[in-house]
Amino acid sequence: MTTLVRNDLRNVAIIAHVDHGKTTLVDELLKQSGTFRTNEQVEERAMDSNDIERERGITILAKNTAIDYKNTRINIVDTPGHADFGGEVERIMRMVDGVILVVDAREGCMPQTRFVLKKALEQGLQPIVVVNKIDKPMVRPLEVVDEVVDLLIDLGADEDQLEFPVVYASAVNGSSSFEPELDKQEDTITNVLDLILEHTPAPVDNTMEPLQFQVTMLDYDNYLGRIGVGRVFRGEIKVGDSVSLSKLDGSTKNFRVTKLFGYFGLKRVEIETAKAGDLIAIAGMEDINVGETVCPTSHVDPLPLLRIDEPTLQMTFIVNNSPFAGREGDLVTSRKIEERLEKELETDVSLRIENTDSPDRWIVSGRGELHLGILIENMRREGYEIQVSKPQVIIKEEEGVKVEPFERVVIDTPEEYTGSVMESIGLRKGELTNMQTMDNGQTKMEFIVPSRGLIGYRNEFLSATRGYGIMNHTFEEYRPFIQADIGGRRSGVMVSIETGKATAYAISALEDRGTIFIEPGIEVYEGMIIGECNRDVDLAVNVVKAKQLTNMRASAKDSTNVLKRPRVFSLEESLTFLNEDEYCEITPQSVRLRKQVLNKNEREKQEKRRRLGKD
């Protein structure tokens, strides 16, 4: 029996490591396919619509777009390249029939390349490889293709998946070629589109069978409410149809389809009907969730639930109770914070939230520091104030054995720093699995490291490599728990013992003791961390102390304090800097580090009790 297919349609996802150029590639495909008018202004990274995505140059949320090429509608889904947003990648693989794997012509296969490719192969998808940034110096395109082959074999690819087509491109210049030499580049990127038509299977046309539509993403509209985005796996759906939603708990709810949307370019366009193979958005059911299936009321036949990898990291979110609480944010109460966290669960299937004994704190679990950091960053931009504890890896039991998450770490560093890197990562129980010296004097090393060992390691790594090292890591697997104190900050901190404004006089006297985090004029409170010590003990300091006034005239030499630049943390760096007895206070305007117990005497009593308890 011949299987009917829709030759007028292709569904593909673009997957890659962070910053290998896939969003730029999609921008260029949109331009060269004629989806944008010649006089239309299109900003760079058009598909990164989220403010944080534009600022950081990363993709967080999967995006749908569509272009018409040679009488075929090509649906393209641009997915995140960071493993912390792997929940998005996993869901997208159910929507598409093929993948475009974008790999940097110099960097080659990186940890997240491995992660996203594994997800694609698990769904049986056929890759098309785009070796991007071919115009950059020190590229090695043929070696990179060999690395892709090795990676596919390592991930258990079948023979068909190993016979992948390759195109060499410079997305930023809009050029491509089937030859690796730079001088063979053609002034068109449409070679990629031709490969999609030739190698990506067309969707099966089973429009005459009963409807099956699975929700893989959620969107929100101020007028229509929650919208389910996904693929029509079989059958046909029209505006006004009465359908049944098969819920995650096995129950069903009937509703009427009020709106249907397709995609063209970067726009969501209203449509009247959709059939098998189409990627669409559906409105009409406010209580729709990721993984649920829309079916006819007369034939409820849900698709298998989507399998999502479990969180590996957790931290405690706490209502802000610092002396400066409520100064900078509007949304500060436990009710507002809890509502916001519950709202996040509606669209983020990789997130977990647990209530605690206290109504003012919640345990929030995610896929990594960046995943939770983006949630916190979004909340502070919306006007929330919160405090969070040090991130903790999630330890669990499998068949009676205690296990913890391990990560694959790839490090690229100048050769002279390999010794210090191996020593520092060895102290964190890292195991070297591969080492390769490149022609340009760089050394590429691969380690398997407990996730515990990587919390707070990035700053130590940058110090060990004098800022020249590049480190990438992704979740590998759970392994037996290592009974050792791994990772964490070894240095002490400077803690303010007064409340007021920091003075240049006080800061200059402390600079020899370590690294300062604040500038003169910044308001501080008792218990706030204002610097890092050179030693491994905490130091109580008075950073608001002013110079004593006298009636003696000071020389210019005495009156001028030239201060070093303070160390500035990103939000993620602040989170990983924390120790067990510290919080990070986050408001719309500030990120402050503080001790959990603000009073110096109370901290000393607590430490004394802790030591007595150990003895």
**pLDDT above 80 for 232:** yes
- Establish if 175 belongs to a structural domain: yes
Distance between CA atoms of residues 351 and 117, nearest Å: 22
Q: Which has the minimum average pLDDT: 201-215, 351-365, 568-582?
A: 568-582
Helix (H) or strand (E) holding 361: strand 361-366
pLDDT at 25: 86
Domain boundary among 158, 176, 199: 199
Tell me the H-state helices in 16-85.
Answer: 22-32, 51-56
What average pLDDT does this structure show over 224-230?
A: 84
Rounded average pLDDT over 515-537: 92
- Looking at residue 285, which CATH number applies to its domain? 2.40.30.10
Instruction: Say yes or no to pLDDT of 49 above 50.
Output: no
pLDDT at 614 (0 to 100): 59
Can you give the CATH number for the domain in which 462 is found?
A: 3.30.70.240
Q: Predicted confidence band at 19 (pLDDT cuts at 50, 70, 90)?
A: confident
d(CA 206, CA 110): 39
**pLDDT band at residue 53 using 50, 70 and 90 as cut-offs:** very low
Whether 509 and 468 share a structural domain: no
∠ CA 109-113-116, rounded to 5°: 160
Residue 4 resides in a domain: no
List the one residue out of 128, 137, 127, 129 whose CA is nearest residue 103.
129
Domain co-membership, 501 together with 450: no
Residues 247-268 have a mean pLDDT of: 87
| 143 shares a domain with 278 | no
Residue 463 lies in a domain: yes
Specify the number of domains making up the chain: 4
- H/E element, 398: strand 396-398
pLDDT score, position 282: 92
CB 285, CB 255: distance < 8 Å: yes
Burial state string for 90-107 with b = 16 or more CB within 10 A and e = fewer than 16: bbbbbbbbbbbbbbbbbb
Does 192 lie in the same domain as 277?
no
| 60 and 82 housed in the same domain | yes
- Our CA dihedral for 340, 342, 344, 349, rounded to 10 degrees, sits at 170
Of the three residues 250, 275, 296, the one that is the final residue of a domain is 296
Alpha helix segments (H runs only) across 281-398: 334-347, 369-381
Residue 531: band (very low, low, confident or very high) from pLDDT cuts 50, 70, 90: very high
Kindly state whether residue 259 falls inside one of the protein's structural domains.
yes
**Does residue 268 sit within a domain?**
yes
> What mean pLDDT comes out for the span 20-49?
65
Across the range 554-563, mean pLDDT stands at 60
Domain endpoint, select from 424, 458, 480: 480
pLDDT in tens, 160-200: 889 999 999 998 898 899 998 888 888 888 899 999 999 99
On whether both 112 and 38 belong to a single domain, the answer is yes
Please check whether residue 276 lies inside any domain of the structure: yes
Bridge partners, 449 (sequence order)? 407
Q: Would residue 421 count as lying in a domain?
A: yes
Backbone angles phi, psi at 549, to 5 degrees: -85, 140
Task: Give pLDDT tens digits for 478-509.
Answer: 899 988 877 677 789 999 999 999 999 999 98
Query: Are residues 474 and 608 both part of a single domain?
Result: no
Residues 468 and 571 in one domain: no
Structure tokens at 504: 């240049």
Residues 237 and 183 in one domain: no
Q: Name the residue with higher pLDDT: 317 or 219.
A: 317
User: Considering only CA atoms, which of 65, 2, 8, 13 is closest in space to residue 203?
Assistant: 8
Dihedral over Cα of 530, 533, 538, 542: its sign: negative
pLDDT at residue number 28: 86
Confidence at residue 268, expressed as pLDDT on a 0 to 100 scale: 83
HEC profile for 165-209? CEEEEECCCCEEECCCCHHHCECCCHHHHHHHHHHCCCCECCCCC
Expressed as residue numbers, the domain containing 54 is 9-199
Q: What is the CATH number of the domain that holds 113?
A: 3.40.50.300
Amino acid identity, position 368: G
C-alpha distances in Å from residue 87, one per residue of 60, 307, 348, 516 = 10, 9, 8, 38
E strand or H helix at 457, and its extent?
Answer: helix 457-464
Average pLDDT for 272-283:
92
On the question of pLDDT at 33 being above 90, the answer is no
Within-domain flag for 383: no
User: Is residue 38 predicted with pLDDT exceeding 70?
Assistant: no
Do residues 178 and 37 both lie within one domain? Answer: yes
Q: Residue 61 has what pLDDT?
A: 45
Query: Do 455 and 412 fall within a single domain?
Result: yes
Asked if the model's pLDDT at residue 591 lies above 60, the reply is yes
pLDDT of 48: 44
pLDDT band at 438 (very low <50, low <70, confident <90, very high): confident
Q: What's the whole-number mean pLDDT along residues 45-50?
A: 46
Does the pLDDT at position 45 exceed 60? no
pLDDT at 40: 52
Average pLDDT, the chain: 84
Same domain for 182 and 84: yes
Structure tokens at 485: 């104190």
Identify how many contiguous H helices and E strands the chain contains and give both numbers. Answer: 16, 35
What are the pLDDT digits (tens) for 369-411? 878 888 999 899 999 999 999 998 888 888 889 999 898 888 8
pLDDT of residue 467: 77
Which two three-digit tokens encode residue 274? 């959709």
CATH number of domain containing 501: 2.40.50.250
